[in-house]
């Protein structure tokens, strides 16, 4: 019996395992970019179907949620956004792994949600291996402008992340965190 992994690179990626970007992955990311551009154009044109274009781009979108373009995604379909959430200009949501954003979340401009990881060892990195870890943002979270959320991070309900913070580890619910790396400065 062969022990060789017969999964596609995309199947490996979705499983959270190391993979190499191939033609199928490039095709999927190009299609996502085209959907993101259709969404941005619909907003620019004041089209009635802008929300439909956003729903077409994402894995799921809650009611009364809005994301101001430009919105940058890898796939879009791995990005799930709850109800009554608002994201300002320039959200980067690299959804190689799932990104779940709760209800009533406020996201400042130029926030980055980064799921991809790369090997620390030089040889596998040279071979273009990559993987990803999911990000979860709880309900009623506020991510200040320019905040960066790193792979594998969960942010608890009601937490505030200060502008420019780099969140490298999980944050509990009901706190304010600032800095690089982000650290809790008070409970709320």
- Catalytic residue set: 118
Nearest 5°: CA angle at 133, between 38 and 169?
115
Question: How far apart (Å, rounded) are the C-alpha atoms in residues 117 and 169?
Answer: 14
The residues near 121 (Cβ < 8 Å, ≥ 6 apart) are none
Query: Which letter does DSSP use for residue 119 in this model?
Result: -
Query: Which letter does DSSP use for residue 171 in this model?
Result: B
Structure tokens at 72: 């940058």
Strand, coil or helix: what is 131?
strand
């Amino acid at each position: 019996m062969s022990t060789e992994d017969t999964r596609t690179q995309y199947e490996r990626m979705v499983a959270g395992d190391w993979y190499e970007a191939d033609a199928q992955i490039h095709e999927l990311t190009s299609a996502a970019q085209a959907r993101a551009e259709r969404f941005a154009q619909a907003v620019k044109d004041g089209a009635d179907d802008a929300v439909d274009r956003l729903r077409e781009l994402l894995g799921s979108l809650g009611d009364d949620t809005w994301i101001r373009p430009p919105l940058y995604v890898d796939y879009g379909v791995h990005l799930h956004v709850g109800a009554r959430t608002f994201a300002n200009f320039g959200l980067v949501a690299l959804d190689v792994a799932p990104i779940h954003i709760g209800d009533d979340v406020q996201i400042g401009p130029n926030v980055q949600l980064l799921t991809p990881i790369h090997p620390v060892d030089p040889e596998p990195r040279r071979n273009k291996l990559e993987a990803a870890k999911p990000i979860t943002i709880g309900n009623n979270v506020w991510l200040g402008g320019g905040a960066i959320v790193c792979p594998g991070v969960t942010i608890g309900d009601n937490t505030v992340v200060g502008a420019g913070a780099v969140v490298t580890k999980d944050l509990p619910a009901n706190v304010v965190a600032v800095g690089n790396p982000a650290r809790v400065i008070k409970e709320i």
